[in-house]
Amino acid sequence: MAQARGGAMAVAAATVVLCLLLSHFELAQAATYTVGGTGGWAFNVAGWTKNKRFKAGDTLVFKYNPSIHNVVAVNRAGYSSCTTPKGAKVYQSGKDQIKLVKGQNYFICNYSGHCQAGMKIAVTAA
Ligand SMILES: *[C@@H]1O[C@H](CO)[C@@H](O)[C@H](O)[C@H]1NC(C)=O
Ligand SMILES: [Cu+2]
């Protein structure tokens, strides 16, 4: 009898722990965003970040035609002036998945004139 009750309590305790773990996992779970929504990574995408809240570990998916665009991870200066810093990482698969780091994340398309046409985003990740 006492043994049966102990067993039931152990099951109840395990259930509580499991529920806590699951809810914690859900809260901490990273989100995935397609940059630009249905329009994808394109001209004038710069405003897409507006009113969105990003977290470190969230994934941005850049969808575009890789024969005419790319994605280059740049710094603030590169973002502002549409220039590519030395050693910048270039993505060109046409469906790049990039994880955000905490703080500022800047991306441009460095094909001539594209960044100037708004093919750039600045993302702040909490
Ligand atoms: C884009 O970035 C790559 C890598 O830094 C560089 O080789 C290339 O010249 C850049 N293109 C333009 C148009 O700036
Ligand atoms: Cu481009």
CB 30 within 8 A of CB 36: no
Helices and strands counted in the chain (H then E): 2, 7
Cα 35 to Cα 12, 15, 38, 85, 114, distances in angstroms: 44, 39, 8, 22, 16
Closest ligand 1 atom number to CA of residue 88: 5
Report which bound ligand comes closest to the CA of 40.
Answer: 2
CA distance 121 to 15: 44
The ligand 1 site (C-beta within 6 Å) comprises: 72, 84, 88, 90, 110-112
Same domain, yes or no, for 53 and 15? no
Give the pTM.
0.81
Q: What is the tens place of the pLDDT at every residue in 71-122?
A: 999 999 999 999 999 999 999 999 999 999 999 999 999 999 999 999 999 9
Same domain, yes or no, for 24 and 35? no
Mutate to test the pocket of ligand 1, among 90, 109, 112, 119 (most ligand atoms within 8 A of CB): 90
Distance (angstroms) between ligand 1 centre and the Cα of 5 equals 69
Residue identified by tokens 């994808």 is 40
Same domain, yes or no, for 13 and 64? no
Q: What is the tens place of the pLDDT at every residue in 7-51?
A: 665 666 555 554 455 555 555 689 999 999 999 999 999 999 999
Distance (angstroms) between ligand 1 centre and the Cα of 110 equals 6
**Full domain range(s) for residue 117:** 31-125
- Provide the CATH number for the domain around residue 112: 2.60.40.420
Same domain, yes or no, for 43 and 99? yes
Region 57-80: what's the mean pLDDT? 98
Same domain, yes or no, for 37 and 19? no
Distance (angstroms) between ligand 2 centre and the Cα of 67 equals 9
CA distance 58 to 97: 10
Q: Is the pLDDT of residue 4 over 60?
A: yes
Same domain, yes or no, for 75 and 113? yes
Same domain, yes or no, for 7 and 49? no
Same domain, yes or no, for 51 and 103? yes
Same domain, yes or no, for 66 and 83? yes
- One-letter amino acid for residue 61 of the chain: V
Q: Which residues make Cβ contacts (< 8 Å) with residue 78, sequence separation at least 6? A: 72, 84, 85, 88, 106, 108
Distance (angstroms) between ligand 2 centre and the Cα of 56 equals 25
Q: Give how many domains the chain has, as a whole number.
A: 2
